[in-house]
Amino acid sequence: MLIHRVIPCLLLSPSRGGLVKTTRFAKPKYVGDPINAVKIFNEKEVDELTVLDIDATREGRGPDFGAIEELASECFMPLCYGGGIRTAEDAFRLFSLGVEKVALQSAALRNPSLIREIADRAGEQAVVVSIDVKRGWTGRSQLYSYSGVAAGADWRAAIRAAVEHGAGEILLNAVDRDGTLAGPDLALIREASQIADVPLIAIGGISSLGDVKAATDAGASAVAAGAFFVFHGPHRAVLITYPRYEELRGLWSSAA
């Protein structure tokens, strides 16, 4: 078993026909069919998969349970789903379909007690809270929210509140690095890891196995990535890949 998880994160956009990859949360590029992507990751024996519907909250709708059921039935690894989850009932329905973890953001920022409601019944390990952080022109980092909920607030306070209410993991997204393949925001990871006393999943900017190692050295418990697993070469051709287990194990073999 690996010391740190390395998790593909797929962005689902039904309005654009399937999976997309964004750059700094903008300019979504179509990258393929979600079922095909899941089958590829099954073959590569990925330990865990995260799927986020980036349209649901913006469009004011809940999860597409039919599509998620189909996705979960094809997924041979633990699946974390986020997007449009507004109530505990939404979360429990997702669990019944085969989803093992739910990722909350807008609903958790609006109503932190929702985290506890789900965690008390499903366990804290089943609740991930997504915290998006964006640096302003002054370099000051602030909470970012695609839906506008609590945008500009203190992201540190948001992490503390999520943990206090029962979040089992924090998904920390460096918005400025999203899709850029420019490397992770190590300073952000270091600071967040000192705040969160639950596993911290760092995402944003990963472009190499060296970046994965740097993120975990900075304090991340796990690393998630999108562009690193779906783009190939300087022209960002779509090619779904995942490192061999031996390559990942070698990153931390000296620490084992």
Tens of pLDDT along 87-123? 999 999 999 999 999 999 999 999 999 999 999 999 9
Average pLDDT value for residue range 11-16: 93
DSSP secondary structure letter of residue 219: T
Catalytic residue positions, numbered = 132
On the question of pLDDT at 256 being above 60, the answer is no
On the question of pLDDT at 224 being above 80, the answer is yes
Q: Please work out, in degrees rounded to the nearest 5, the angle formed at the alpha carbon of residue 85 by the alpha carbons of 196 and 115.
A: 35
Residues 168-223: tens digit of each pLDDT: 999 999 999 999 999 999 999 999 999 999 999 999 999 999 999 999 999 999 99
How high is the pLDDT of residue 151? 73
Residues 124-156: tens digit of each pLDDT: 999 999 999 998 777 889 999 877 777 778 999
Average pLDDT of the chain, as a whole number = 94
CA distance 223 to 41: 16
Band of pLDDT at residue 254, cut at 50, 70 and 90: low
Find the helix packing angle between 113-122 and 88-96, rounded to 10°.
30
CB neighbours of 247 closer than 8 A, spacing ≥ 6?
209
According to CATH, what is the number of the domain 5-255?
3.20.20.70
Provide the sign of the torsion angle of the four alpha carbons 120, 124, 125, 127, taken in this order: positive
Q: What is the token pair recorded at 199?
A: 């596993």
For residues 201 and 174, the answer to whether their CB atoms sit within 8 Å is no
CA distance 62 to 32: 22
Does residue 207 sit in helix, strand or coil? coil
Q: Measuring CA to CA, how many Å separate 188 from each of 133, 141, 207, 245? A: 9, 9, 17, 28
For residue 173, report the phi and psi dihedrals to the nearest 5 degrees: -110, 120
Residues 43-61: tens digit of each pLDDT: 999 989 999 999 999 899 9
Beta bridge partners of 142: 134
Find the helix packing angle between 34-43 and 65-74, rounded to 10°.
20
Does residue 15 sit in helix, strand or coil? helix
Q: In this predicted structure, which of 116-120, 162-166, 238-242, 252-256 has the lowest mean pLDDT? A: 252-256
Q: How many Cα atoms within 13 Å fall on the side-chain side of residue 211?
A: 20
Q: Measuring CA to CA, how many Å separate 196 from each of 8, 179, 199, 204? A: 22, 25, 7, 18
How high is the pLDDT of residue 255? 54
Beta bridge partners of 253: none
Band of pLDDT at residue 11, cut at 50, 70 and 90: very high
How high is the pLDDT of residue 139? 80
